Structure 1
Amino acid sequence: MRKHSLLLIGLVLGLTTFGQDFNGWKTLSKVTVEKRFDETLNFEIDYPTFSDEVKKLDGKVIELEGWMIPLEELQGESYFVLSSLPFANCFFCGGAGPETVAEVFAKEKIKFTEKRIKVRGKLKINADDPLKLMYILQEAEIVN
C-alpha cells in the first residue's frame, strides 16, 4: 500500500511540475529596458536587454495568450498587435511596459475579436529596430 501511495504522490508532483503550461508573458517579462536618445528619430526610445531565458526562445515556436489591440486600420488583417493585458491596461494605454505586447504576423488573416485569444508562432526578439516592438511572432496561427 505504501508503495502505491508513494507512486501516486510522485505522479501528482510530476504532473504539477512538468504538466504546467509554459507561461510566455511571464518569461518574456524577463527583460530590462533602458531609455536612450535616438538621433535618427530625435527622441528617447526603449532599448531592451533580454535575459538568457528570453534569448533561448529566439527562433523557437511559442504560444501567447492575450488581446488584439483594436487598431482600426489593422482589424481583420494578418498583422496585429497582441497584448498580454486587456486594452484598457495595455502598454499603449499606459498600464504596462513594452514587454507586454508583441507584433503578430499571421499565416492567414485573423478576424478581429475583443475576446482573449491564443496564438502560436515563431518568436523573433528585436533589440535593434526602434520602429518595431521587442517581440515579434512570425508565421502565427490561432490555437483553439
Structure 2
Amino acid sequence: MFKQFILVFLFVIAGSKTNPVFSQGVTESQHLVDHKPLMNEVWKTFDTMLYKVNKVNGKTVYTPYFPSKLVKLDGTSVELQGYMVPLKAGLRHNRFLLSVLPVQQCMFCGQNGIPPMVEVTLSDNNKVWLKENPVIVKGYVKLNEKDRSRVEIFIRDAALLKQ
C-alpha cells in the first residue's frame, strides 16, 4: 500500500513539472490571470475557523472554534462561488461539499494548509447535476460544533444561482 502511495506521489510530481498548459506556450503568470481565485470575504471568514485541541480519556479531541466574525455569519444569507464535491456516488445531488478548488485538484496541495469547504443542502429536496465548472449557491449559514459526522459549516436551504 505504501509503495503504491509513493508511486502515485512520484507520478503526480513528475506530471506537475511537465504541465501541458505551460508547454503549449502559456506562461504561469498568464495562467494565474486566467484562473481567478474563488476566495471572497465569506470564504475568508469561513477560513478563520480553528480547532481547540483537548485530551479526553487519553484521546486527542478536536473541537471547532468559531471566532466572533464567523459567529456573526451564523443564520445569515450568503452567496458563494465554488466547485461541487460529491458526498456520495451519483450524478444528481441534494447535498454536496462546496470548495474553492476543483475536485480534480489535490485539496492538500498548495500553500497555507487545507482550503475551506462547506456542506450545501439544497432547499425542497431539489437535486442538481454534478458540475465540473464553478457554481454559485445562495443559502443560510449554519455553524456545527456538535455533529462530528458532518462538516463544521453548512449552507442550508440553498439554491443554485449559476449552474
Taking structure 2 as the reference length, the TM-score comes to 0.62
Q: Is it true that 1:55 corresponds to 2:86 in the alignment?
A: no
Q: Is it true that 1:112 corresponds to 2:130 in the alignment?
A: yes
CA deviations 1:48-71 (Å, max 9, x no partner) are 111111101101111111111145
User: Following the alignment from structure 2 to structure 1, what is the Cα–Cα distance between the partners of residues 56 and 97?
Assistant: 23
Tell me which amino acid in the other structure corresponds to 2:134.
Answer: R
SS in 1 for 2:80: strand
User: 1:133 Cα shift?
Assistant: 0.3
User: Following the alignment from structure 1 to structure 2, what is the Cα–Cα distance between the partners of residues 121 and 36?
Assistant: 32
CA deviations 1:78-123 (Å, max 9, x no partner) are 1111112222232xxx3443x6111111022111011111101111
User: Following the alignment from structure 1 to structure 2, what is the Cα–Cα distance between the partners of residues 89 and 130?
Assistant: 24
Residue of structure 1 in register with 2:102 after alignment: 86
Residue of structure 2 in register with 1:66 after alignment: 82
Q: Is the 8 A contact 1:85 1:100 kept in 2?
A: no
Matches within 5 A, 1:5-84: 23-36=41-54, 44=60, 46-84=62-100
Residue of structure 1 in register with 2:161 after alignment: 143
Give the root-mean-square deviation of aligned CA atoms.
Answer: 2.4
Residue of structure 1 in register with 2:16 after alignment: none
Q: Is the 8 A contact 1:45 1:130 kept in 2?
A: no
User: Following the alignment from structure 2 to structure 1, what is the Cα–Cα distance between the partners of residues 74 and 143?
Assistant: 6
Question: Stretches of 4+ moved more than 2 A in 1?
Answer: 34-39, 42-46, 94-97
Q: Is the 8 A contact 1:102 1:134 kept in 2?
A: yes
Residue of structure 2 in register with 1:14 after alignment: none
CA deviations 1:31-63 (Å, max 9, x no partner) are 212344677xx9655321111111011011111
Aligned length: 117
Q: Which structure 1 segments of 5+ residues have no match?
A: 1-21
Residue 136 to residue 45, structure 1, CA distance change in 2 (3 Å): farther
Taking structure 1 as the reference length, the TM-score comes to 0.69
**Percent identical residues:** 26
